[in-house]
Amino acid sequence: MELQFEVNEELCIGCGECSKDCPFQLIEMKDDVPTMAKENEANCLQCQHCLAVCSTGALSILGKNPADSIPLPGSAIPAKQLATLMQSRRSVRRYKKDRVSPEDIAFLLETVGYAPTGINNQQVLLTVIDDPQIMDSLRKKVYTILAKLCESGSFPAGMEYLQGYVQDALVTGQDTLFRGAPHLLIASSPKAGPCPEADCFIALTYFELLAASMGMGALWSGLAKWTLTGITPEILAGLGVPDSHQVGYIMVFGRPDVTYRRTVQRDHAHINRVQQIV
């Protein structure tokens, strides 16, 4: 991809911040003007730090107009508010049936695109079910297969531990895998990438917190992940998750049918404060 590294020399004040902040020092100041040599372009992470750090909006890369960025400092969230959000998010296991508006889902997914990825890989694929009817047909497909496996006692080797959960779900009619949620989100990333799992976890963490700030609930569902990846990979493929991808995790989300009135109280974080290196 063409980098389109461009500097508006009328606006540039020659401060060199773009050059200093470039992770690989690919930008050189020549006569107080930032330049990127052609041979450096292939090593550019495309992180856009040069565009973000420029105090006068003189620098454009990848065809981005700095005027289209959100000016900073802007509406920074007070730390206490963000901490309260982090402390108050809960694993939501009771959902309203109503769908979340397509606008809200689009806003969430687009914002998740701002999550960091290893070497700015930006390859996390967000597979989303935004139609609750499709979610219901997924539930049906998955539980039909699981019921057959329970009947025949033929869970794949290593996955027998799921049988207990599934049997409970089948007997009680409780949807332990998807918790009755109207929506599902799968984060996956190419296995060949530098850190596919970490990238997916970060993306889902961004999603969960932003969703909580919008009055939504979410649940990291290990049961859904283990089932779809380990027992019904054909269903996963049918949802459009490429075989070349590592599934980082699966989350369900929607409008909560439960209201938490206070935070939980965690005892302490496990901290190893290094005093010396032995």
Residues lying near ligand FMN in the complex (CB under 6 A) are found at 90-91, 93, 219-223, 264
Q: Which of 128, 168, 141 is nearest to 253 (CA)?
A: 128
Q: Are 227 and 144 in contact (CB under 8 A)?
A: no
Shortest distance (Å) from residue 57 CB to ligand FMN? 40
Question: Which CB atom, from 3 or from 223, has the smaller least distance to ligand FMN?
Answer: 223
Distance between CA atoms of residues 41 and 6, nearest Å: 13
List alpha helices for 58-152, DSSP H: 79-88, 102-112, 132-152
Question: Which CB atom, from 161 or from 274, has the smaller least distance to ligand FMN?
Answer: 161
Shortest distance (Å) from residue 260 CB to ligand FMN? 8
Question: Which CB atom, from 150 or from 250, has the smaller least distance to ligand FMN?
Answer: 250
Shortest distance (Å) from residue 258 CB to ligand FMN? 11
The gap between the terminal CA atoms of the chain, to the nearest Å, is 48
Shortest distance (Å) from residue 91 CB to ligand FMN? 3
The per-residue b/e assignment along 128-162, b for 16 or more CB within 10 angstroms, e otherwise, is bbbebeebeebbeebbebbeebbeeeebeeeeeeb
Question: Which CB atom, from 105 or from 204, has the smaller least distance to ligand FMN?
Answer: 204
Question: Which CB atom, from 64 or from 90, has the smaller least distance to ligand FMN?
Answer: 90
Shortest distance (Å) from residue 38 CB to ligand FMN? 45
Question: Which CB atom, from 66 or from 217, has the smaller least distance to ligand FMN?
Answer: 217
Shortest distance (Å) from residue 94 CB to ligand FMN? 11
Q: Which of 193, 180, 203, 195 is nearest to 250 (CA)?
A: 203
Residue 186's SS3 state is strand
- Cis peptide leading into 73, omega within 30 of 0? yes
